[in-house]
Structure 1
Amino acid sequence: MANHKSALKRIRSNRVKQIRNKYQHKTTRNAVRNLRASTEKKEAEEMFPKVVAMLDKLAKSNIIHKNKASNIKSKLAKHVATL
């Protein structure tokens, strides 16, 4: 167990950040899944910029690796183009 006030505060703040990161990551995964499942081109083109922004935000805050975000964006762009 932590012995210092600063360590206790760090434990609390880490937990809050963990919950926020988990929420953002799960929300983005669901958005990616919905975009992959979409069959209408117009709907997919509307969703695509929002999903890309979400992925960029995750990569910027190191929740996911920047190359993983790039790979997902590339595959999604290919999917939208083929609709």
Structure 2
Amino acid sequence: MANHKSSIKRIRQTESRRLHNRYYAKTARNAVRRVRALTDKAEAEAALPKVSGMLDRLAAKGTISKNKASNLKSKLALHINKLAANA
């Protein structure tokens, strides 16, 4: 167990940040899954800016890396373009 006051506080802070980051990262993953599951191009195009913004915010705050956000946005855009080709 920690002996210093500051380390006890650090443990509390780390735990609360971990839970916060976990919640928002999971929410973003679910949003990405929902967009990937869409088969209608118009719906998917409407959902893309919201999900992209969510990913950008998470990357800016350091919850996920900027490269991961970029890769996810790119793959979602490819998915939506393929929907247009199939329709």
TM over 0.5: yes
Looking at structure 1, the residues matched to 20 and 59 of structure 2 have their Cα atoms a distance apart, in angstroms, of: 14
- CA deviation profile, 1:46-75 (whole Å, cap 9, x unmatched): 110111011111211222221111111111
Partner of 1:47: 47
Runs (5+) with no aligned partner, structure 2: none
Partner of 2:67: 67
> What TM-score do the two structures reach when normalised by structure 2?
0.88
User: What RMSD in Å do the two structures reach over aligned CA positions?
Assistant: 1.0
> What TM-score do the two structures reach when normalised by structure 1?
0.91
Runs of 4+ deviating beyond 4 Å: none
Aligned pairs for 1:22-33 (under 5 A) are 22-33=22-33
Runs (5+) with no aligned partner, structure 1: none
Looking at structure 1, the residues matched to 40 and 14 of structure 2 have their Cα atoms a distance apart, in angstroms, of: 41
